């Protein structure tokens, strides 16, 4: 087959035409034959199998059953009536239910006659029931023509309304196979195919759209998922290798007085083994002549700041400047205060640059940066402005990286002729599978132990009905001299309701904890920044014992004396948010607590989230559960959305395939970095085509 036939615009496929082509483009992003062949079904209707009622599972899959109706009745309900038929197959009984068209259905149903029914089963009140089943008399069913397994394709309301139904998509797909004669070029090399026993590309594409059996469908899906993940990994690893070989970095070969002096004489505590390991990994990167691109992950309070500071001292020892960029002013100020305190004994010039920095101060910063007098600049997006020019920026550290877009990071790169070394830090643990895909081109370091003396936070789940006990607990903790956070959810759409919740909550707390015995701070999004800061500072100084707030306190507030975090309506928060909020306490030596308050009405997902929080403090385990619940798109937030616009693979469910794909991509590139060997020619060709037609689906960093 001519490989370019797949680049034919979809308009030319028989049965499509200009109107349908416009819809397929706007609704599903299908521009060419290639895009259409990669529109993979999201489920299949399996009509190869007849289930017995006693085999049914509570998994809401479509099933087909042979049996008889033995009884029909009409049941009154709040709105109108429903028709219920009792259906049996000798192994058990279930109900068939109709909410519409009941009179016609009732007249046409035959009792005690074999039917084949098809549809989704729900488990309600201890019985399986199938609403509005497809029904066919057994004798007609035996004479009709059926395909074994039928694909169900992704669709939208607009497509259905305009007549592009699933049946139409199947017809068009058949037409595509006729026009291309089902001849697709092989895209994987012989050794990979034989080692992994993968089926050929032709067979895989045919069976994923028109499966001959469950077994062939599984083989086809595995083959196509592997291929998709393999080429993404090939791209990421190639990028990493090119960067290490082509992009020369500054070589920091001096481990000088600042680094050694700080380590020996001024380190406020002993480093954990994890911190030592990570510093060693960073030192190795900075000492090679390649540019460092490393992601540093560590839970809240694991001591990333010290690692960042020691990396910056290495840069200064070698005659370079360093900078830290944080997403918010609060965080930038916290970094500035923390680092200024730590480097007091050293002869180092540190400055802070944010949106609120006065013009006169900015002028001094700009001058000192260009003359090289300023060693460390800490700031927000303000660091990216064109006016900010360094004499020689050697190391750029980006905190909470997922809040910065790719373009913003590129700006940092171009502050120098030679790009600086980059260290990206995040306190939001990224599951390993996601890290391999999103940051497969970065080297990854993990700080996976907390500093000694930190007690794990005790987390409990309480219902609103236990509120009085919780109030007693708060009183006891305040008696011991501790401070308390009480956090209410804030969801933009229902701001009025949230504001009311917060104010109601504040009033009931004020009644329970009256002045002058107790002082309460309140912080929410509607306050002026100056008022917010005033209240935050009162809490920080210990002038108030309770802080009632919305989630504005999520990032960057450090109050070691606060030992209790109470999260109201905890079921309305996501897992990573709950974990971040919990990280606000547990910063001192005392035992800290996190209390999750909810109503009794909880969805299954909410229950899973709460159980996970109570069970573990491990951010990585929490991130894995979160990924399973929410999927990769939501976790990375809007800045990175569409990061992995995968066509068939799913990095959560296909985690094992991803690992295999990465292993093979690494092995092949190690042995043959430019894919010149005869057996890898096909890989080089396909890779070039994917890049040429922009079909490698991850435009990452």
Domain 48-146: CATH superfamily is Nucleic acid-binding proteins (2.40.50.140)
Highest mean pLDDT pick, 425-439, 487-501, 644-658: 644-658
Q: Work out the average pLDDT over 635-643.
A: 39
Q: Which residues contact 226 (CB under 8 A, 6 or more apart)?
A: 196, 198, 657, 660, 661
Nearest residue to 458 (alpha-carbon basis) of 603, 590, 553: 590
d(CA 521, CA 399) in angstroms, rounded, equals 29
Output the CA torsion sign for 470, 472, 473, 479.
positive
d(CA 690, CA 681) in angstroms, rounded, equals 14
Residue with token string 């894919």: 675
Share of the chain above pLDDT 90, in %: 42
Q: Annotate 584-617 with b (16+ C-beta within 10 A) or e (fewer).
A: bbbbbebebbbbbbbeeebeeebebbbebbeeeb
- Tokens, residue 479: 């008696």
Confidence of residue 480 (pLDDT cuts 50, 70, 90): very high
d(CA 646, CA 225) in angstroms, rounded, equals 9
* pLDDT score of 386: 85
Burial class of residue 645 (count of CB atoms within 10 Å of its CB; 0-12, 13-18, 19+): exposed
For 249-291, the pLDDT digits (tens) are 788 888 888 999 999 998 888 899 999 999 999 999 998 888 8
Cβ-contact 32, 16 below 8 angstroms = no
One DSSP character per residue, 156-215 reads -HHHHHTT--HHHHHHHHHHHHHHTTT-----S-HHHHHHHTPPPHHHHHHHHHS-SSHH
Tell me whether the CATH fold assigned to 48-146 matches the one assigned to 257-287+303-426: no
For 431-469, the pLDDT digits (tens) are 766 776 666 677 888 888 777 777 889 999 999 899 999
**CA separation (Å) from 247 to 311, 401, 417?**
20, 22, 11
Phi, psi of 677 (to 5 degrees): -65, 150
Highest mean pLDDT pick, 43-47, 173-177, 528-532, 695-699: 173-177
Phi, psi of 458 (to 5 degrees): -85, 125
Q: Work out the average pLDDT over 591-617.
A: 92
d(CA 342, CA 353) in angstroms, rounded, equals 19
One DSSP character per residue, 649-682 reads --TTTTHHHHHHHHHHHHHHHHH-TT--SGGGHH
d(CA 401, CA 411) in angstroms, rounded, equals 14
Cβ-contact 266, 310 below 8 angstroms = no
d(CA 274, CA 537) in angstroms, rounded, equals 33
d(CA 355, CA 43) in angstroms, rounded, equals 50
Q: Is the pLDDT of residue 56 over 70?
A: yes
Supply the CATH classification number for the domain 257-287+303-426.
3.40.50.300
**CA separation (Å) from 148 to 50, 127, 209, 356, 379?**
12, 28, 12, 67, 62
* pLDDT score of 47: 77
Between the two ends of the chain, the Cα-to-Cα distance in Å is 35
Where do the structural domains in the chain lie, given as residue ranges? Answer: 3-43+152-211, 48-146, 257-287+303-426, 458-616
d(CA 564, CA 567) in angstroms, rounded, equals 10
Class at the top of the CATH hierarchy for domain 458-616: alpha beta
For 28-38, the pLDDT digits (tens) are 999 999 999 99
Please provide the average confidence, as pLDDT, over all residues in the chain. Answer: 85
């Amino acid at each position: 087959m001519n490989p370019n036939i797949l680049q034919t615009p979809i308009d030319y496929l028989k049965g499509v035409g200009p109107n349908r082509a416009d819809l397929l483009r706007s609704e599903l992003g299908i521009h060419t034959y290639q895009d259409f062949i990669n529109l993979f079904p999201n489920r299949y209707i399996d009509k190869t199998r007849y289930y017995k009622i006693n085999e049914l599972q509570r998994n809401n899959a479509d099933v087909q059953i042979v049996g008889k109706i033995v009884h029909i009745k009409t049941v009154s309900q709040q709105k109108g009536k429903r028709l219920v038929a009792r259906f049996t197959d000798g192994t058990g009984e279930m109900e068939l239910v109709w909410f519409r068209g009941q009179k016609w259905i009732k007249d046409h149903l035959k009792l005690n006659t074999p039917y084949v029914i098809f549809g989704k089963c729900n488990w309600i009140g201890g019985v399986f029931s199938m609403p509005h089943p497809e029904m066919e008399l057994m004798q007609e069913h035996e004479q009709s023509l059926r395909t074994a397994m039928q694909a169900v394709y992704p669709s939208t309301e607009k497509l259905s309304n305009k007549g592009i139904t699933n049946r139409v998509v199947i017809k068009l797909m058949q037409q595509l196979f006729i026009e291309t004669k089902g001849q697709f070029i092989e895209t994987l090399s012989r050794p990979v195919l034989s080692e992994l026993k993968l089926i050929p590309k032709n067979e895989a594409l045919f069976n994923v759209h028109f499966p001959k059996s469950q077994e062939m469908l599984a083989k086809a899906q595995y083959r196509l998922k592997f291929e998709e993940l393999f080429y993404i990994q090939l791209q990421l690893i190639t990028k990493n290798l090119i960067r290490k070989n082509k992009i020369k970095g500054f070589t920091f070969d001096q481990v000088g007085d600042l680094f050694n002096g700080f380590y020996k004489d001024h380190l406020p505590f002993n480093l954990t083994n994890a911190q030592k390991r990570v510093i060693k990994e960073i030192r190795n990167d900075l000492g090679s002549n390649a540019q460092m691109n490393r992601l540093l992950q560590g839970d809240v309070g694991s001591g990333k700041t010290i690692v960042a500071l020691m990396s910056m001292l290495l840069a200064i020892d070698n005659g370079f400047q360093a900078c830290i960029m944080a997403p918010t002013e609060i965080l930038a100020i916290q970094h500035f205060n923390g680092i200024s305190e730590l480097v007091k004994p050293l002869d180092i010039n540190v400055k802070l640059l944010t949106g609120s920095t006065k013009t006169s101060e900015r002028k001094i910063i700009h001058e000192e940066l260009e003359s090289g007098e300023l060693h460390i600049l800490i700031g927000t997006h303000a660091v990216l402005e064109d006016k900010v020019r360094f004499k020689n920026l050697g190391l750029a550290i980006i905190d909470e990286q997922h809040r910065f877009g790719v373009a913003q990071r590129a700006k940092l790169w171009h502050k120098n002729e030679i790009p600086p070394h980059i260290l990206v830090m995040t306190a939001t643990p990224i599951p390993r599978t996601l890290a391999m895909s999103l940051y497969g081109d970065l080297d990854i370091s993990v700080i996976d132990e907390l500093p000694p003396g930190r007690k794990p936070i005790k987390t409990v789940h309480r219902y609103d009905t236990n509120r009085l006990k919780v109030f007693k607990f708060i009183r006891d903790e305040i008696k011991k001299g501790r401070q308390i956070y009480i956090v209410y959810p804030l969801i933009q759409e229902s701001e009025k309701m949230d504001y009311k919740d917060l104010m109601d909550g504040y009033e009931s707390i004020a009644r329970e904890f009256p002045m002058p015995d107790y002082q309460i701070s309140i912080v929410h999004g509607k306050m002026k920044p100056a008022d917010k800061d005033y209240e935050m500072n009162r809490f920080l100084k210990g002038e108030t014992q309770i802080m009632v707030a919305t989630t504005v306190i999520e990032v960057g507030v450090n109050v070691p004396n606060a030992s209790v975090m109470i999260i109201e309506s905890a079921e309305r928060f996501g897992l990573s948010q709950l974990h971040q909020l919990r990280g606000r306490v547990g910063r001192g030596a005392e035992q800290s607590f996190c209390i999750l308050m909810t109503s009794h009405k909880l969805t299954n997902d909410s229950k899973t989230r709460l159980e996970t929080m109570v069970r573990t403090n491990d951010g990585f385990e929490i991130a894995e559960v979160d990924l399973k619940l929410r999927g990769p798109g939501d976790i990375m937030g809007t800045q990175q959305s569409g990061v992995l616009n995968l066509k068939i693979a799913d990095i959560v469910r296909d985690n094992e395939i991803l690992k295999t794909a990465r292993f093979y991509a690494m092995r092949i590139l190690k042995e043959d970095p430019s894919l010149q060997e005869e057996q890898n020619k096909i890989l080089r060709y396909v890779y070039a085509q994917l890049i040429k037609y922009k079909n490698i689906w991850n435009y990452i960093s």
